[in-house]
Homo-oligomer: A and B are copies of this chain.
Amino acid sequence: MKKITIGEAARQSGVKVPTVRYYESIGLLAAPNRSEGNQRSFEPADISRLAFIRHARELGFEIEAIRTLLTLQDDPNQSCASADAIAKARLIEVEQRIRSLMALKAELETMVEGCGHGRVDQCRVIEVLADHGQCRHSQH
């Protein structure tokens, strides 16, 4: 088998080199074998695992959630109820966040539209920030 360097693993998985080392350091990725000269030598499975992690991170899962998902993946006989629960929780978070951002968007639009491009004392941006009572949303 040809040796996969950390740089190769990084390129193939889309995870940066220092981040690969970081994932190893926190135990998300098993420590790989080393070459004569102490350089890491990865297996193809490590690249899949890194890609899995990367994808999950892109979806906004926290490291601890990913750790759980990975242990589930490692043991395919387990019930997928936990995986389902984690994904559902994340979905709810994302929906919340979208709602919240929509409210922010509306408020920012009011600010930007209301800006007369004159001096600060007539500026709606500053004004709205100074007085929360002027906006329609109250919790985020």
Contacts and interface: CB of A to CB of B under 8 A. Distances in A.
Contacts of A25: none
Q: Main secondary structure on chain A at its contact with chain B?
A: helix
A9 interface: no
What is the total number of copies of this protein in its complex? 2
B59 A120 contact: no
B94 A101 contact: yes
A51 interface: yes
Interface residues of A, number: 53
A115 interface: yes
A103 to B, nearest CB: 10
Contact of A79 (B73, B78, B98, B120): B120
